[in-house]
Chain A
Amino acid sequence: DIQMTQSPSSLSASVGDRVTITCQASQDIANYLNWYQQKPGKAPKLLIYDASTLEIGVPTRFSGSGSGTDFTFTISSLQPEDTATYYCQQYDTLLPLTFGGGTRVEIK
């Protein structure tokens, strides 16, 4: 199985701060990576696919980069509504699909 190592597991930042989350795959997954946002009691919401493509309707303060094994997710200016848990997920052809452990983002 492809292991996804996501860090940090949690962070606290102020409104307007730049926030960065990293995700490392245990093997090359090209750009087959999603980033999800999940709020309590809700289903995950897809923010970014193919490592860097913003889903329609998602604010442009969210961005993703990387390929191969190392990926980064950035919120350029943290907003109160961004409080959530964020997950990376790989969808390489090698099953199973796997997720990172999640990053809980809180407002300081």
Chain B
Amino acid sequence: EVQLVESGGGLVQPGRALRLSCATSGFTFGDYLINWFRQAAGKGPEWVGFTRSRTYGGTTEYAASVKGRFTISRDDSKTIVYMQMNSLKTEDTAVYYCEVGGYWGQGTLVTVSS
């Protein structure tokens, strides 16, 4: 059974950093592209970025709104995906989800506020 568990969310001041984790199990981790999405309260989901599979070197792509501030990485030995979020803005406030092959985690809430 595919499982994705996000963690690392919380309340952070604007301009500070936070690192989210997505712990996975139930599939061959290295073979899959893994997405991060986010959803602000009352809004639709928004794609944040992804890391490609091992075959494609785990390379990453990002939405314009986070490019240069967020960095996605993956640890194939631990089957965990990370997202380092720097220079956080109030508009980054959202529930953050990781996703693989249509399976989503339960999400972790990030609140950026002074």
Contacts and interface: CB of A to CB of B under 8 A. Distances in A.
Contacts of B8: none
Q: How large is the interface on A (under 10, 10 to 19, 20 to 34, 35 or more residues)?
A: 10 to 19
A89 B64 contact: no
A73 interface: no
Interface residues of B, number: 15
A92 to B, nearest CB: 12
A98 B45 CA distance: 9
A44 B35 CA distance: 13
Interface string A31-44: 00010101000011
Interface of A: 34, 36, 38, 43-46, 49, 55, 87, 89, 95-102
Interface of B: 35, 44-47, 61, 63-64, 97, 102-107
